[in-house]
Chain A
Amino acid sequence: MTDVHRTVDAIWKMESARIVAALTRMVRDVGVAEELAQDALVAALEQWPESGVPDNPGAWLTTVAKRRAVDHIRRDRRSAEHDELLAHDLAERRRLEDGVGGPEYDLGAAEPASEQEDVLRLMFVSCHSVLPTEARVALTLRLLGGLTASEIARAFLTVEPLIARRIATAKRTLAEERVPFELPDGADPAERLSSVLEVVYLIFNEGYSATSGDDLMRPGLCLEALRLGRLLAESAPDEAEVHGLVALMEIQASRTAARTGPAGEPVPLHTQNRGRWDRLLIRRGFAAMLRARAVGTPGRPGPYVLQAAIAVCHAQARTAEETDWVRIAGLYAALARLLPTAVVRLNQAVAVGMADGPAAGLALVDTLTWDPTLRDYHLLPGVRGDLLLRLGRGEEARREFERAALLTGNAAERAYLTRRAEAIPVGDASTRTFGEAIDAFLAQDRLAPATARSYGQTLWRLRLSLGVGMPLASLTADQIAGAFRGSWGGVAAATWNRHRAAVRAFGAWTHTPGLDAGIPQRMPERRSAPAPAPIPPATVPPGTAWPGDVEAALRERTLWTLLRESGATVAAVLALNVQDLDLPERRARRADRRSDRRSDRRGTWITWRSGTAALLPELLNGRTRGPVFLADRRPGPARAGTLGAEDICPQTGRGRLSYERAEFLCKSATGHSLRRLRDRGGEGTNPAAGPTSPR
């Protein structure tokens, strides 16, 4: 490019919006208007190298372009609708012809007010709703920003032919749809403007937080959007939202230098060096905000004014600690009412997290987890990670940062998120307690409910043995093994292995894989007296299911085994309470009142052998009080009245298993009554019961 070329280009960029707007008013077609303006540019490139750059190059371009427009209208004479216009334009042409060629041009060809109105009309046309968004963006940059197709293509990291085609299609669509060169009618002026504001802010954001590519920002686009915003503010000075948008963009742009580090990595707002914020831009942002307040309806700020007010709050804080988060959270709440989008609510969560603490912020974020619009939005896990980290839940925070890094398309941001994830020590075991780790482990989304319940039984039991407050880091495999053997030393191999699997899974999750080192896997042994042994195989029809779920089956097995081994009455066994059990001695003090009278004959103890001893700890699962055998659910209101306090489990709230229910379950599973079970097992095997126990 020669010097003259560059000068023409610079002047074109400064004047194109006004020139194209004026021409569009004349020819009523943005496509034609732009071609005519290009003709004027070509004329400048031909003449200026010889004649030199004129004193007022902007006016020269405008005048020449308008002459071309008049020529065009004359050629287009056949079109009846232009006749009236033509008369006016011919008069103007005569006026222009008097001026062109002489030392002075007709500078005030249009009054400033109507000129600005034309620019505003042009904005409405290029942001018209008949066009897809990317066409609006390209056309606005082209017509109002004066950018060439190749410049727009560079800014959006695409190829020139694509942008050229997009612009051409957009112009054709506008012509075909006969979009008028008028200010649209509408009751709400803010609503009329919203599509224009949206396009301008979109251009700004594409520059401010590039969604793709290696650089975090493309400052040229930000600057272009700022120019468009200011142009808009000049053209529509009575619209508070326009000034709000300008203020928002000015203040955001003021952080340009501070928001990227030396290697191009993003620096979050609260750690930015505020000395590098551009005070000139902040001042201009404040000025725009004052204009917005002056023309706006008091008490009813629009979304851009609210966002600008939030930006003002940040700009006013000299240090991050001085930030008025309570006010910002309030502004976000107002914004969320106007724009209840997921992104706004995510930002609100950040503000609430600062104003009311990370737990409150996290609660808000967690309401957004399944919002489809945020599904692949990297800021969601990013924000969550931040809040979790502040809550001391480093393990989860690290996974969120890793997820965020996977989701972002921007290389600088990905590097930053990966670094944040790596900065959290693996395991983060130094701070977390055993109890917290268990809670977090069981709260994982990926655990199936049945698995979580099964793991929960294991870990809650271990937690009772080891205590919740112990730091996870200080937990040793020996301690785990000791507690494990204490809890399940006598259980069947399958049960042992099930608990062992839970410990292994927990160890892997907490990055302490050796946690189960002291717990060897057990080979399933053939038990000499399997739990359902008293039931003659012949009497159990093939395929008979254990009643209820696994837990109920465990309860039934224990009950039947205990009846068989102890020879005690069904009522006495069902009346047993956890606190009366003496597991090491394999006996329990009778709890049923009738036993007092018969104690002379039956003794005060119910005793059992290895089968029951193996099953009982698992059945109790850490319970310390209440009935040994529990019903499947909590008692309903009618039944609750008939139960005494000792018949309710203080931990689960479930009532004591009734004789009727136990009998029914036994009969439906085996076809036998409970008494029969007891008698078969008890004969000659239980010295405490003796052969004379009542039938």
Chain B
Amino acid sequence: MRYLMTSRASENAKAPDEKLFAEMGAFIEELSAAGVLLATGGLEPGGVRLVSEGDDVTVTDGPFAESKEAVVGFALVEVRSKEEAVELGRRFRRIVGDGESMLQQVFGP
């Protein structure tokens, strides 16, 4: 089964340092080799927002005021159980420090 983990930044998050990069690099490499990590990436702040209402689709360019809510990164993982995904998420959060992540199972092919 596949899970998508999306992460949001925290206001008091520590600035990334050398140690974080090294740990993160090793973590990503380990999960890629094990075939667990299918895709991952960081996301631009802001982006483009599309809102549909009736027949209208409104397109707004970022940045947006509520940047705290913004998703800054994602990871798509292939795991055997929810618990496995949670365990991976746990390891990830320990590396990146303060903030929050969301785990959701991906349905479909």
Cα A498 to Cα B38 in complex, Å, equals: 72
Q: Are A230 and B33 in contact (CB under 8 A)?
A: yes
Q: Are A10 and B35 in contact (CB under 8 A)?
A: no
- Report if A11 contacts B (CB, 8 A): yes
**A-facing mask of B38-66, CB < 8 A → 1, else 0?**
11000000000000000000000000000
Known contacts: A11-B87, A55-B94, A276-B109. The answer to whether A6 contacts B81 by CB under 8 A is yes
Q: Are B35 and A7 in contact (CB under 8 A)?
A: no
- Report if A284 contacts B (CB, 8 A): yes
Q: Are A233 and B33 in contact (CB under 8 A)?
A: yes
**What chain B residues lie within 8 Å of A55 (beta carbons)?**
94
Known contacts: A230-B34, A280-B38. The answer to whether A10 contacts B109 by CB under 8 A is no
Cα A55 to Cα B91 in complex, Å, equals: 9
Q: Are B80 and A223 in contact (CB under 8 A)?
A: yes
**What chain B residues lie within 8 Å of A57 (beta carbons)?**
87
**What chain A residues lie within 8 Å of B84 (beta carbons)?**
10, 13-14
Q: Are B33 and A223 in contact (CB under 8 A)?
A: no
Chain A interface size range: 20 to 34
- Report the minimum CB–CB distance from A253 to chain B (whole Å): 10
**What chain A residues lie within 8 Å of B33 (beta carbons)?**
230, 233-234
- Report if A226 contacts B (CB, 8 A): yes
- Report the minimum CB–CB distance from A48 to chain B (whole Å): 12
Main secondary structure of the interface of A (DSSP, over half): helix
Q: Which residue of A lies closest to B35 (CB)?
A: A230
- Report if A115 contacts B (CB, 8 A): no
Tell me the chain B residues, 65-79 only, with Cβ under 8 Å from chain A: 76, 78
**A-facing mask of B8-50, CB < 8 A → 1, else 0?**
0000000000000000000000000111001100000000000
**A-facing mask of B74-99, CB < 8 A → 1, else 0?**
00101011111011000000100000
**B-facing mask of A277-294, CB < 8 A → 1, else 0?**
010100010000000000
Most buried by A among B35, B78, B84, B87: B35
Q: Are B34 and A227 in contact (CB under 8 A)?
A: yes
Q: Which residue of A lies closest to B85 (CB)?
A: A10
Q: Which residue of A lies closest to B39 (CB)?
A: A280
Q: Are A231 and B34 in contact (CB under 8 A)?
A: yes
- Report the minimum CB–CB distance from A290 to chain B (whole Å): 14
Cα A42 to Cα B80 in complex, Å, equals: 21
Q: Which residue of B lies closest to A280 (CB)?
A: B38
- Report if A35 contacts B (CB, 8 A): no
Cα A228 to Cα B94 in complex, Å, equals: 27
- Report the minimum CB–CB distance from A245 to chain B (whole Å): 13
**What chain A residues lie within 8 Å of B86 (beta carbons)?**
7, 10
Cα A284 to Cα B37 in complex, Å, equals: 11
Q: Which residue of A lies closest to B32 (CB)?
A: A284
- Report the minimum CB–CB distance from A281 to chain B (whole Å): 8
**What chain B residues lie within 8 Å of A257 (beta carbons)?**
109
- Report the minimum CB–CB distance from B88 to chain A (whole Å): 9
- Report if A9 contacts B (CB, 8 A): yes
- Report the minimum CB–CB distance from B40 to chain A (whole Å): 11
Cα A3 to Cα B87 in complex, Å, equals: 12
Cα A9 to Cα B35 in complex, Å, equals: 19
**What chain B residues lie within 8 Å of A280 (beta carbons)?**
38-39, 76
- Report the minimum CB–CB distance from B36 to chain A (whole Å): 9
Choose among B39, B76, B81, B94 the residue that contacts A9 (Cβ–Cβ < 8 A).
B81
Cα A284 to Cα B38 in complex, Å, equals: 9
Q: Are A10 and B80 in contact (CB under 8 A)?
A: yes
- Report the minimum CB–CB distance from A553 to chain B (whole Å): 72
Tell me the chain A residues, 356-413 only, with Cβ under 8 Å from chain B: none
Cα A276 to Cα B109 in complex, Å, equals: 7
- Report the minimum CB–CB distance from B4 to chain A (whole Å): 13
Q: Which residue of B lies closest to A234 (CB)?
A: B33
Cα A276 to Cα B82 in complex, Å, equals: 25
Known contacts: A55-B94, A234-B33. The answer to whether A10 contacts B87 by CB under 8 A is yes
**B-facing mask of A219-238, CB < 8 A → 1, else 0?**
01001001100110110000
Q: Which residue of A lies closest to B38 (CB)?
A: A280
Q: Are B34 and A7 in contact (CB under 8 A)?
A: no
Cα A347 to Cα B39 in complex, Å, equals: 34
Q: Are A223 and B78 in contact (CB under 8 A)?
A: yes
**B-facing mask of A1-21, CB < 8 A → 1, else 0?**
001001101110110000000
**What chain A residues lie within 8 Å of B94 (beta carbons)?**
55
**What chain B residues lie within 8 Å of A11 (beta carbons)?**
83, 87
**What chain A residues lie within 8 Å of B82 (beta carbons)?**
6
Q: Are A227 and B35 in contact (CB under 8 A)?
A: yes
Q: Which residue of A lies closest to B34 (CB)?
A: A230
Q: Which residue of B lies closest to A229 (CB)?
A: B35
Cα A10 to Cα B81 in complex, Å, equals: 7
**What chain A residues lie within 8 Å of B80 (beta carbons)?**
10, 13, 220, 223
Q: Are A7 and B83 in contact (CB under 8 A)?
A: yes
Cα A230 to Cα B86 in complex, Å, equals: 22
Cα A233 to Cα B33 in complex, Å, equals: 8
Given A10-B84, A11-B87, A13-B80, output 4 extra A-B contacts at Cβ < 8 Å.
Answer: A3-B83, A10-B87, A280-B76, A284-B35
| Interface residues, chain A, with chain B CB atoms under 8 Å away | 3, 6-7, 9-11, 13-14, 55, 57, 220, 223, 226-227, 230-231, 233-234, 256-257, 276, 278, 280, 284
A-B contact pairs, 28 of them (CB 8 A): A6-B81, A6-B82, A7-B83, A10-B80, A10-B81, A10-B83, A10-B84, A10-B86, A10-B87, A11-B83, A11-B87, A13-B80, A13-B81, A13-B84, A14-B84, A55-B94, A223-B80, A227-B35, A230-B34, A230-B35, A231-B34, A234-B34, A256-B109, A276-B109, A278-B109, A280-B76, A284-B35, A284-B38
A-B CB proximity, top 3 nearest: A10-B83, A257-B109, A10-B84
